[in-house]
């Protein structure tokens, strides 16, 4: 969403002042304030600020589905408004710069989504689990409930964090979630390609790096500690994944089962 900078500043100002006014209103006439919420306006704001991660209608994407569910961090509508204004620390969901009133409108819309029935994940969870631990080889790079290898992110509660479209996409087109720059949700999962002075070539996940040394783990699970002065070249592959693409090796049904299994991890 493009906002002219003056408008942005104005919104900020409005945000702060309406925080104050909102607070006063809440303490005196809490109920009337709550009744003014208009979910239709909330929906428009949601499309603008939230749908790129939560999908239009809250169906889920990089962020989880918001339909028909209980929230971990919100037991009532006002908790949702606070969540919008603060974001969720430690996740990609940062604070949204809206006024307190707009936050309440968004909250009221999101709260109404709780009554929409969530699309159940199609697919067979137990078959998905077998593929994950077996022919998919996912367990060689991911940990689920303490089992597996942590080359990629821990997937123990991926069903809470991610929506179905995102889960499917991560299997078909890995790396879509990785940022293109050094700052972003998955900058810690950076693929690096190295060529040593003696001609050895390696590619793997960066585990650790300082001015002199690069620690690397390749897809076979081998661990390397490489001196930078012995390197001919080193390429940090921002935006690329070492995770294989499964579109051609797994059938559509197998992928649907995998997605159902991952959605069940909560």
Among 101, 105, 123, 158, binds ligand HEC (CB under 6 A): 158
Q: What are phi and psi of 205, to 5 degrees?
A: -90, 135
Give yes or no for residue 60 binding ligand HEC (CB under 6 A).
Answer: no
CB of 27 or CB of 182, closer to ligand HEC: 182
Give yes or no for residue 152 binding ligand HEC (CB under 6 A).
Answer: yes
CA distance 255 to 266: 19
Identify which of 11, 6, 90 has the alpha carbon closest to the alpha carbon of residue 48: 11
The residue length of the chain stands at 266
Give yes or no for residue 173 binding ligand HEC (CB under 6 A).
Answer: no
8 Å CB contact between 265 and 128: no
CB of 226 or CB of 243, closer to ligand HEC: 243
The count of residues interacting with ligand HEC (CB under 6 A) is 55
Q: Which residues contact 58 (CB under 8 A, 6 or more apart)?
A: 46, 50, 51, 65, 66, 67, 110, 113, 116
Q: Which residues contact 115 (CB under 8 A, 6 or more apart)?
A: 68
Give yes or no for residue 33 binding ligand HEC (CB under 6 A).
Answer: no
Among 186, 193, 203, 236, binds ligand HEC (CB under 6 A): 186
Give yes or no for residue 159 binding ligand HEC (CB under 6 A).
Answer: no
Give yes or no for residue 111 binding ligand HEC (CB under 6 A).
Answer: no
CA distances 36 to 27, 85, 88, 108, 165, Å, are 15, 19, 26, 10, 34
Give yes or no for residue 144 binding ligand HEC (CB under 6 A).
Answer: no
CA distance 95 to 143: 29
Give yes or no for residue 174 binding ligand HEC (CB under 6 A).
Answer: yes
8 Å CB contact between 63 and 51: no
Give yes or no for residue 85 binding ligand HEC (CB under 6 A).
Answer: no
Give yes or no for residue 54 binding ligand HEC (CB under 6 A).
Answer: yes
Give yes or no for residue 140 binding ligand HEC (CB under 6 A).
Answer: yes
Stretch that binds ligand HEC, among 4-12, 17-25, 90-98, 208-216 (CB under 6 A): 90-98
- Taking the complex as a whole, the smallest distance from the CB of residue 158 to ligand HEC amounts, in Å, to 5
CA distance 248 to 56: 29
Sign of CA dihedral 183, 187, 193, 194: positive
- Taking the complex as a whole, the smallest distance from the CB of residue 229 to ligand HEC amounts, in Å, to 27
Q: Which residues bind ligand HEC (CB under 6 A)?
A: 49-50, 52-54, 62-64, 66, 71-74, 80, 83-84, 88, 91-93, 96, 106, 110, 132, 136-138, 140-142, 151-153, 158, 160-162, 167, 170-171, 174-175, 177-178, 186, 189, 205, 219, 241-244, 246, 258, 262
């Amino acid at each position: 969403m493009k906002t002219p900078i003056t408008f942005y500043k104005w919104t900020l100002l409005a945000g702060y002042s309406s925080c104050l006014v909102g607070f006063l209103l809440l303490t005196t006439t809490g109920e009337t304030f709550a009744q003014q919420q208009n979910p239709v306006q909330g929906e428009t704001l949601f499309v603008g600020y939230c749908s790129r991660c939560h999908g239009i209608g809250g169906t889920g994407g990089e962020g989880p589905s918001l339909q028909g569910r209980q929230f971990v961090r919100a037991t009532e509508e006002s908790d949702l408004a606070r969540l919008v204004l603060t974001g969720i620390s430690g996740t990609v969901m940062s604070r949204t710069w809206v006024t307190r009133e707009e936050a309440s409108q968004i909250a009221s819309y999101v709260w109404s989504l709780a009554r929409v029935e969530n699309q159940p994940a199609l697919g067979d969870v137990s078959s998905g689990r077998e593929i994950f631990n077996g022919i998919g080889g996912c367990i060689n790079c991911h940990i689920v409930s303490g089992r597996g290898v942590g080359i990629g992110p821990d997937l123990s509660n991926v069903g809470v964090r991610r929506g179905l479209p995102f889960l499917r996409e991560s299997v078909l087109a890995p790396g879509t979630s990785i940022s293109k720059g050094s700052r972003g949700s998955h900058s810690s999962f950076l693929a690096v390609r190295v060529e040593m002075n003696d001609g050895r070539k390696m590619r793997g996940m960066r585990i650790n790096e300082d001015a002199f040394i690069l620690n690397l783990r390749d897809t076979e699970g081998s661990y390397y500690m490489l001196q930078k002065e012995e390197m001919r070249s080193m390429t940090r592959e921002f935006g690329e994944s070492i995770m294989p693409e499964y579109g051609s090796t797994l059938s559509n049904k197998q992928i649907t089962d995998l997605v159902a299994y991952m959605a069940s991890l909560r």
